[in-house]
Amino acid sequence: MCGIVGYVGDSDAVPFLLEGLGRLEYRGYDSAGAAVLNHGKIEIRKAVGHVSSLVEEIKSHPVSGTSGISHTRWATHGGVTLENAHPHRDASGKLALVHNGVVENHKDLRTELESRGHVFASQTDTEVISRLIGEAFDGHGDKSRDGLVEAAREALQQVRGTYAIGVLHEDLGDFLLAARRGSPLALGLGDGGQFLASDPAAIAGWASNFVYLNEGEIAWLDGKKFEVAGIDGSAPAPVVVRSMEKAAKAGTKGKFEHFMQKEIHEQPESLREAMRGRLIADQGTACFHGIERSPEELRQWETLIFTGCGTSFNAALAGEYIIEFLSRVPVECEIASEFRYRNSPLEMGTAVFALSQSGETADTLAAMREIKRRGAPTFGICNNPFSTISRESDGGIDLRAGQEVGVAATKSFTSQVLVLTMLGLMLGRMRDLRHTEGKKILSALEKLPDLVAETLEVDEVVRRIAKKYAASESFLFLGRQANFPVALEGALKLKEISYISTCAHPSAELKHGVIALVNESTPSIFIAPRDELFEKNLSNIEEVKARNGPVIAVGTQGDDVLADLCDDVVLVPACEDFLTPILTVLPLQLLAYHIGVELGCDVDKPRNLAKSVTVE
């Protein structure tokens, strides 16, 4: 959560800060602010609301300077107010700081600081860090840039929790300090200046190269050179300079009204990209270069554990059904925020996969680190090959979905399910899946992008259904087997985008309590393709209709039974049963999008949400 952009160099910092924040607004949009060193004095501008509000504030009260830090906030401690917006100053007013993360011991630190005469201007945990660093620097004999580095080290040793910080001090000229623990932060390197950013995408096009700070590192930069060290004084890990050309660049909406709409329609291409170079036609299998294990080692995997949060967890659940079907390797799915605190036994032969679109999800990263500590091999499935999960895991798979700007995940879900399907194919072929079956599956995978494109042609049908049901106060989502996770994902998308109350259950659970929610004003959405459990789904639909509940069904093309029974039907192309989740989720993504638009919601930036959940 929250986005940080900093600049120090030869040009005016403000245009970089504002545009960079706009690119990072998916990380938080409760408030925004910037601190700029202007003729030896730090000037701060803040605004409540989107980054556009900060842009207007700076137009009304201009500021310029060749170094600055900025922030777009997702509120954790303290309400959405001007006082709580970043940057925050120290007691002297000479130091400004921006922060992403959570200070777990902020109350104790605040009490200690108040006992020493500090008067806080906000309710945030962030202000504790600014005052700790400022106090340490003011009491330090060395008032140089090195002195600020040492003061920051001393202060950060007292902080428990997570942070990525950017610091500016008006006595030190064009000089930025940065540090990270638990939250991502990168340095951008350009010819005329240097940058800080929570995500390299924020500075793409300005910096030619970038450096990810590793866990527990502190850095300082002056526009021409930079240094990195351990916060605890230890030697840093070798600095890896990466080309910015490989970093995701913020896109435009093109012909689409919203990023979410655009990203839904990009899925044929994102799925093609996920398969590119990974299917081995003559062997009827798949391969992943990021999983550097011999066939003998892979055959020793007796259990897989998938862990993730939100949409990634739903994709993992779908993958569980698919992989067990294709490879007969047992799979367990764990919600990362719970898994990290459980004392779950890990048997020999267990491999753990951490699923995260951003690769920075705090709970998933913490769960992965705990598993690594216990000795199990860990692998990341992420959409950012430079992310913390990707770098700290023992290997992994890049989704290649391209940057997802809309806060609600769409194309990353289908890419995750596809990657897990290919993983199941690979493991199955190493066990007892026959060559002919492998080639049949591979052929089905190759046709998938075209089937997705065909499915997306139901857009107008779904828009009409959305208009019909947009006033509903609640929805039920129901599905069987691998389409139960699709029900979960459809329910999640609708509540994220439209703020409508939803719940999802396996269809067979209807009679075990869920049916009490059925009434004439609550639509039930059944994911009911023509698979082996189609007749079972029909029986559940009959139960809802017998109680006058409206039913929307997602079925298979050519099916007349659903049309006769249900109030509204959306049909998707026929495909192999294990691929239906990738097709059936598409009408649900479109339904959430169109209902959100119909209700006047900001579908790209839903209230209270942020794209990358980097705090617990």
Answer for the pair 28, 2: CB distance below 8 angstroms, yes or no: yes
Q: What single-letter DSSP state applies at residue 567?
A: S
Instruction: Annotate 84-144 with three-state secondary structure.
Output: CCCCEECCCCCEEEEEEEEECCHHHHHHHHHHCCCCCCCCCCHHHHHHHHHHHHHCCCCCC
* Catalytic-labelled residue, pool 262, 495, 605, 611: 611
Q: Report the sign of the C-alpha dihedral through residues 22, 615, 180, 153, in that order.
A: positive
Rounded Cα distance, 320 and 333, in Å: 7
| Strand 524-527 versus strand 551-556 pairing type | parallel
- In angstroms, the CA 83 to CA 79 distance is 9
Residue 382 annotated in active site: no
Out of 2, 333, 382, 575, the active site residue is 2
Backbone angles phi and psi of 160, in degrees to 5: -105, 135
**Whose CA is closest to 174, among 44, 66, 33?**
66
3-state SS string for 495-510: HHHHCCEEEEEEHHHC
> In whole angstroms, how far apart are CA 121 and each of 88, 96, 528?
9, 13, 56
User: For 39, left (φ over 0), alpha (ψ -120 to 50), or beta?
Assistant: left
Q: Phi, psi at residue 493, to the nearest 5°?
A: -60, -45
| Rounded Cα–Cα distance for residues 276 and 259 (Å) | 24
| Residue pointed to by tokens 């499915």 | 455
- CB-count burial class (<10 Å; 0-12, 13-18, 19+) for 306: buried
Name 228's bridge partners: 219
Note if 511 is an active site residue.
no
Q: Catalytic residue numbers? A: 2, 611
